[in-house]
Copies of this chain bind each other. A is one copy, B any other.
């Protein structure tokens, strides 16, 4: 009985989303921007009803004994609300990419052929706890001319409903279909299974959350999924790396923040520079309490240094360390022959997310860029830059470690497709 209802409910959301997506695809830039600005205004003016909905979620989560960091993620502070409202205004100020025509060229037959950027249709977003994702996803849908079906975490359902109400009002105010952004109103877990298996209505799924959730969604989805599972990112310090730069970038890549997927988890060091470089970075990591899991060569160099810096935590790496995404004050360290071994190690163990080389050597830099098979490859920059905003995309839908469609940080264009446009004057084929 329940299963029957949830199927019907999700199919109805899908049908409504598909209908709304045709209207959204046709909407002009000004209308979409009006909706985004209205949403920013309504968020700022939301006041008590939104705050009370959020308090109910927080109270329920606290009573259920949810861990403090998870309860924190649930909270919609005034600062969070201001941030997402500003995000809507920034999106409104961005140029509209829908309808842009690229590469229009005349062909020998006389026809002119180019490609027009159009919305992909309907995306499904599956996420956990943080209610602000509801607004991020809604605003991306509006700007990109897509329809969206949003499935937030059950612990944030009251907040999400209140936010979705503001989205509906903003769409209506601009004359856009309210079904362009629909929140799944039930916390029934089966809703996710339905959402990812409606190819007739949903064109792409974007999951945000734990690895287990994303793996399950990827395995079971009947439509494409934009996702990354792991961020096992590396920095390789090449023979000719300027020492000061190498220390600064490796430190930043590892310690500026431990939890993001673009933080470094592995450090590779060319043998010729290891004696000079490792003691310096070892002292930095020692001072910051970063545990170093080392291959035998790195361990020998660092243990010698640890005599001077007793706070240094040097342990022996095991095979599993090379694949590990710690998301913590831990880093694996390995001394390699040079750029060849570094590239081979990265292509074997990295999660194809983001990897960087520190070098002065132009040829090694070029080889690293070309041969490392990752979504983002960097020369002399911190892996922490792998981010839609830092890359100048203006918005980030997610990060993809797949090669099909979108790769790396995904901006609005990841929610669009290019269709061919042919302009003729009555040409026929012979």
Contacts and interface: CB of A to CB of B under 8 A. Distances in A.
Interface in A355-406: 356, 358, 369-371, 373-382, 384-386, 390-392, 403-405
Give the size range of A's interface with the partner: 35 or more
A407 B417 contact: yes
Interface string A100-122: 00000101010101001010110
Nearest to A403: B417
Contact of A419 (B22, B99, B375, B421): B375
Interface stretch (A128-136, A189-197, A248-256): A248-256
B429 A385 contact: yes
Q: Tell me which of A99, A417, A423, A429 has the highest count of chain B C-beta atoms within 10 A of its own C-beta.
A: A429
B429 A384 contact: yes
A242 B417 contact: no
Nearest to A376: B420
A282 interface: no
Contact of A428 (B347, B377, B382, B407): B382
A426 B370 contact: no
Interface in A89-103: 99
Taken together, the copies of this chain in the complex come to 2
Interface string A411-430: 00000011111111111111
A370 B378 CA distance: 38
A390 B109 contact: yes
26 contacts: A22-B347, A26-B370, A105-B392, A113-B390, A113-B391, A116-B370, A116-B377, A118-B373, A120-B404, A121-B403, A242-B426, A249-B426, A249-B427, A252-B428, A253-B428, A256-B428, A378-B421, A378-B424, A380-B424, A381-B422, A384-B428, A386-B422, A391-B422, A403-B417, A404-B404, A407-B419
Interface of A: 22, 25-26, 99, 105, 107, 109, 111, 113, 116, 118, 120-121, 203-204, 224, 242, 245, 248-249, 251-253, 256, 347, 356, 358, 369-371, 373-382, 384-386, 390-392, 403-405, 407-409, 417-430
